[in-house]
A and B are shown apart, each in its own frame.
Chain A
Amino acid sequence: MTGTLSSPTAQELTPDELLEAYRTMRTIRAFEERVHDEFAGGDIPGFVHLYAGEEASATGVCSHLDDRDAIASTHRGHGHCIAKGVEVKPMMAEIYGKLTGSCHGKGGSMHIADLSKGMLGANGIVGGGPPLICGRALASQKRGDGGVGVAFFGDGASNQGTTLESLNLATIWNLPAIFVAENNGYAEATSSSWSVATDDIADRAAAFGMPGVIVDGFDFFAVHEAAGEAVARARAGGGPTLIEVKFTRYYGHFEGDQQLYRADEVAHARENLDCLKRFRARVTADGQLDAAQLDRIDADVAALIEEAVAEAKAAPKPGADDLLTDVYVSY
C-alpha cells in the first residue's frame, strides 16, 4: 500500500491559503534562525532543537486542521507549534524561560504547548506522542465531532515500541489518526538509513494494515496533498494513515552539535531543495502570487520576530511563588 507523492499536478489552494502557508513557513524559518543566533550568543538556556528546513511538513499537514483537531509533537517542536496556531511571542518567551511564556517558563523549548489550540506539547521523550494521539483520536471518535489526531514523530521514534504499538491500536480501533514520520535522516547523530530496518518508514504501514505514503518533505504541495487525503479519510471514518516525510534538517540535533557525522547535504538542500524557495518559485511562476506579496510577508515576519525577542528578553522570570504551583488541579 506504500505509494509515493512528490509532484502533484493539481492544487486547489486559494491565494489567501497560499499566503497563509507561506507566512507560516516563513515564520517558522525566521523563528528558528533567530533562536539559532540567540542561542549562539548565550542568551538561551537548556536544550534547543531547531526545525529549520522541515517547515513544509508542519505547514502542509496543519493547514488541513482546525480547532477540533489535536497534534502531538517532538523535541523539535517549534514548527509544529507555529503551524498549529500557537502564538509566537509567548513561544519565544518560553524558550527564554520567562513568566510570559506559553508555559510560564516551566516548560521551555521541549515542552511548549497550548492545549487551547489543540497543541498537546513538544515532547522531550522520543516516541512520547503517538499513544497520546491515539487517545485524542479516540475522544473525537467517541464524541463524533469529526476531529482527528496527528502525531508528528521522527525517524528515531519510528523505532520506538510506543510508536509501533500505537500504529496497531489505531488500526484495530479504526481511529481518526495520522502518523507523520518526519525522516530528517538522523536520530541524533545516527543515520536513519542504518537505524530503520526497512528501506522506508512508510513500508511499516503495511504491517499495521494502514496506507503508507512517502512525500518529498521540501515540497509543501506534496505534503499538503498527502495530508489532505489522510485527514479526509480519517474524518470520514476511514481510519489511520502513515505519512513519511523525507528531508534534512538545516541545523544539528541540538544547538551546539558540531555535526561531524554529516556530509555537505545541508548546503545542497539550502541551495536546491529549500521549501520556501521552491514555494516562492512555483507560486510566482504560476502567477498565483506576486513576489511583492511574499516580500511583504517576509518583512512582517521579521518585525514580529524582532518584537518577540525584545519582549522575551525584557520579560520577568518566574519567581519563588511559581515553583510550587500547577503541580495538581487540587491537592
Chain B
Amino acid sequence: MARTITYREAINEAIAQEMARDERVIVMGEDNVGGTGSPGEMDAWGGVLGVTKGLYGRFPDRVMDTPISESAFVGAAIGAATGGLRPVVELMFIDFMGVCFDQIFNQAAKFRYMFGGRAVTPVVIRTMWGAGLRAAAQHSQSLLPVFTHIPGLKVAAPSNPYDAKGLLIQAIRDDDPVIFAEHKMLYDTSGDVPEDSYALPFGEADVRREGDDVTIVAIGRMVGTALEAADELAGSGISAAVVDPRTTSPLDLDTILELVEDSGRLVVVDESNPRCSLASDIGAQVAQEAFGALRAPIQLVTGPHTPVPFADSLEDLFIPDASRVAAAVKTAVDWTK
C-alpha cells in the first residue's frame, strides 16, 4: 500500500528492508550512526542529513561509523564486497570523490574486467549531489558525468521518492558497483511510495509526461524543473514530453530515440557543468543515431562552466530553472533553416 513519504524516508526504508532481508548488507559512513565513542547518545545524527537515522537501533552490528578517511573506508567497503558482504557506504558529498577516487575508479570499477570476469564487487556508494543548498563550490557539484564515463560503474540518480526506493533496492541487490546519487534538494520532497519492497530495473527510463512537439530529457532535480516548464509551455500550445533516464549508466537511449523520432526536437536538461556533460553525451548520441529525425538543433540546458557559487543571487543563476528550459524549447520549436 502506498503512502506519501519523503525522498529521505524512502531511501531509509529501502536500506532497512534490504538489511532485514539480507544479513550481508552493512552500512558505513561518516556519522551514519553518529555518536560512536562520544559521551552522548548513539544514533544522534543518522548521517549528516539524517538519511540513515534509526538503522543503528534495528541493526546495531551492521551500521558503522567511520573516521573521516574516505580512501580507507570506501576502499574497505569495496574490499568487503569482494569478500562476500554487500556494503552500502556513504560518500557524504559527491565532491569528496577527490579524496578517494582511486578506490572507486581504479579498483572497484575495474576488478571484474582486469581479473578476467573472476571478481564480483556488489558495493553501493551513496552520495549527495547537486546545487541549491547554498553550500558553495565544494559541496554542490553534479559530478555524475565523471562516474558515468567509467566502464564498470553503474550510476543511478533518482528524481522522486518512488524511484529512490526502487532504484536503491536494485542497487543493493545488484552484483556490480553502483554510484547512488541522492540530490540533496530532494530529501524533503514527498511522493507516493509502496510499503512493500520493490526493485526498479536499471537502464529503463521513465516517460514522466507525454508530448508531441519536443522531447525533454532531464536528470535528478531537473526532472521537476522540466515538468514545470512543460506545464508552462502547454499554456502556449506547445506539447512537451519529459523523460527521466533514472540511471545514467546504463542509459536507456532507446526510449529517448523513440520519442525524438516522433517529436524531431530534443532538449537535455542537466545542472552539471556543460563540458563533457550528461547533456552533451545524450545530445551527441541522439545526433549520431537520429540525425535524420531532427528538425532543429539539439538544445542543451546546463549550469555554466564555473564552480558553483555561494551567494544565493549567483547560485540561482547557476541552476537551470523552468524559464530557461522553456526558452530552450521555444528555440527548438521556432527554429527554421
What residues of chain A have their CB less than 8 Å away from a CB belonging to chain B? 70, 72, 101-107, 111, 113-116, 120-121, 123-125, 128, 130-136, 138-140, 142-143, 149, 161-162, 165-166, 168-169, 172-173, 325-331
A105 to B116, CA, bound (A): 7
List, in ascending order, chain A residues with CB within 8 A of B115's CB.
Answer: 102-103, 106-107, 111, 113, 115, 121
The answer to whether B79 touches A136, judged by C-beta atoms less than 8 angstroms apart, is yes
List, in ascending order, chain A residues with CB within 8 A of B250's CB.
Answer: 331
The answer to whether B152 touches A103, judged by C-beta atoms less than 8 angstroms apart, is no
List, in ascending order, chain B residues with CB within 8 A of A327's CB.
Answer: 112-113, 151-152
The answer to whether B75 touches A166, judged by C-beta atoms less than 8 angstroms apart, is yes
CB B170 to nearest CB in A, in angstroms, measures: 11
B118 in the interface (beta carbon within 8 A): yes
The answer to whether A168 touches B69, judged by C-beta atoms less than 8 angstroms apart, is yes
List, in ascending order, chain A residues with CB within 8 A of B106's CB.
Answer: 124-125, 128
The answer to whether B114 touches A135, judged by C-beta atoms less than 8 angstroms apart, is no
The answer to whether B82 touches A142, judged by C-beta atoms less than 8 angstroms apart, is no
The answer to whether A142 touches B85, judged by C-beta atoms less than 8 angstroms apart, is yes
The answer to whether B76 touches A135, judged by C-beta atoms less than 8 angstroms apart, is yes
The answer to whether B152 touches A149, judged by C-beta atoms less than 8 angstroms apart, is no
B189-233 residues with Cβ-Cβ distance < 8 A to A are 203
Among the listed A70, A169, A329, which residue makes an inter-chain contact with B67, where contact means beta carbons less than 8 Å apart? A169
The answer to whether B75 touches A162, judged by C-beta atoms less than 8 angstroms apart, is yes
A34 to B158, CA, bound (A): 54
Number of interface residues of B (CB under 8 A): 45
Closest residue to B36 on the A side, CB-wise?
A172
Q: Can you report 20 residue pairs joining A to B where beta carbons are below 8 Å apart?
A: A103-B116, A104-B117, A128-B106, A128-B107, A131-B78, A131-B79, A131-B103, A132-B78, A135-B78, A135-B82, A135-B83, A135-B85, A136-B82, A139-B80, A165-B67, A166-B72, A169-B76, A172-B67, A326-B113, A329-B175
CB A318 to nearest CB in B, in angstroms, measures: 9
The answer to whether B71 touches A115, judged by C-beta atoms less than 8 angstroms apart, is no
The answer to whether B176 touches A329, judged by C-beta atoms less than 8 angstroms apart, is yes
The answer to whether A107 touches B81, judged by C-beta atoms less than 8 angstroms apart, is no
Among the listed B84, B113, B176, which residue makes an inter-chain contact with A139, where contact means beta carbons less than 8 Å apart? B84
B187 in the interface (beta carbon within 8 A): no
CB B220 to nearest CB in A, in angstroms, measures: 21
A138 to B28, CA, bound (A): 12
Known: A165-B71, A327-B151, A331-B203. A131 touches B76 (CB 8 A): yes
The A interface, classified by DSSP as helix, strand, loop or mixed, is mixed
The answer to whether A138 touches B76, judged by C-beta atoms less than 8 angstroms apart, is yes
Closest residue to B250 on the A side, CB-wise?
A331
Among the listed B77, B84, B118, B175, which residue makes an inter-chain contact with A103, where contact means beta carbons less than 8 Å apart? B118
Q: Which of B61, B76, B120, B176 has the most CB of A within 10 A?
A: B76
Among the listed A124, A161, A326, which residue makes an inter-chain contact with B117, where contact means beta carbons less than 8 Å apart? A326
Closest residue to A126 on the B side, CB-wise?
B102
List, in ascending order, chain B residues with CB within 8 A of A111's CB.
Answer: 114-115
The answer to whether A149 touches B113, judged by C-beta atoms less than 8 angstroms apart, is no
Among the listed B72, B82, B84, B113, which residue makes an inter-chain contact with A165, where contact means beta carbons less than 8 Å apart? B72
Taking A102-B115, A106-B114, A325-B117 as known contacts, 11 extra A-B pairs with beta carbons closer than 8 A to each other, sorted by chain A number, are A70-B83, A115-B115, A115-B119, A120-B79, A132-B75, A135-B79, A139-B79, A139-B84, A142-B85, A162-B103, A165-B71
Among the listed B73, B74, B82, B174, which residue makes an inter-chain contact with A115, where contact means beta carbons less than 8 Å apart? B82
Q: Which of B85, B102, B116, B118 has the most CB of A within 10 A?
A: B116
Bitwise interface map of B from 43 to 87 toward A, beta carbon under 8 Å scored 1, else 0:
000000000000000000110101101011111111111111101
The answer to whether B112 touches A162, judged by C-beta atoms less than 8 angstroms apart, is no
Known: A165-B72, A169-B67. A136 touches B83 (CB 8 A): yes
Closest residue to B77 on the A side, CB-wise?
A135
What residues of chain B have their CB less than 8 Å away from a CB belonging to chain A? 26, 61-62, 64, 66-67, 69, 71-85, 87, 102-103, 106-107, 111-120, 151-152, 154, 174-176, 203, 250
CB A324 to nearest CB in B, in angstroms, measures: 10
The answer to whether A103 touches B114, judged by C-beta atoms less than 8 angstroms apart, is yes
List, in ascending order, chain B residues with CB within 8 A of A135's CB.
Answer: 75-83, 85, 87
The answer to whether B176 touches A132, judged by C-beta atoms less than 8 angstroms apart, is no
A116 to B106, CA, bound (A): 21
Among the listed A102, A131, A143, A328, which residue makes an inter-chain contact with B72, where contact means beta carbons less than 8 Å apart? A131
Among the listed A113, A133, A330, which residue makes an inter-chain contact with B176, where contact means beta carbons less than 8 Å apart? A330
A242 to B243, CA, bound (A): 53
Known: A142-B26, A172-B67. A326 touches B116 (CB 8 A): yes
A120 to B81, CA, bound (A): 12
A322 to B203, CA, bound (A): 23
A132 to B77, CA, bound (A): 8
A106 to B112, CA, bound (A): 10
The answer to whether B81 touches A161, judged by C-beta atoms less than 8 angstroms apart, is no
A115 to B75, CA, bound (A): 17
A132 to B223, CA, bound (A): 37
Among the listed B75, B82, B112, B116, which residue makes an inter-chain contact with A134, where contact means beta carbons less than 8 Å apart? B75
A106 to B64, CA, bound (A): 36
List, in ascending order, chain B residues with CB within 8 A of A121's CB.
Answer: 111, 114-115
List, in ascending order, chain A residues with CB within 8 A of B81's CB.
Answer: 135
List, in ascending order, chain A residues with CB within 8 A of B79's CB.
Answer: 72, 120, 131-136, 138-139, 149
List, in ascending order, chain A residues with CB within 8 A of B76's CB.
Answer: 131-132, 134-135, 138, 166, 169
The answer to whether A132 touches B107, judged by C-beta atoms less than 8 angstroms apart, is yes
List, in ascending order, chain B residues with CB within 8 A of A165's CB.
Answer: 67, 69, 71-72
Closest residue to A94 on the B side, CB-wise?
B116
List, in ascending order, chain B residues with CB within 8 A of A116's CB.
Answer: 118
Q: Which of B64, B67, B113, B152 has the most CB of A within 10 A?
A: B113
CB A211 to nearest CB in B, in angstroms, measures: 20
CB A96 to nearest CB in B, in angstroms, measures: 14
CB B75 to nearest CB in A, in angstroms, measures: 2
Q: Which of B61, B69, B175 has the most CB of A within 10 A?
A: B69
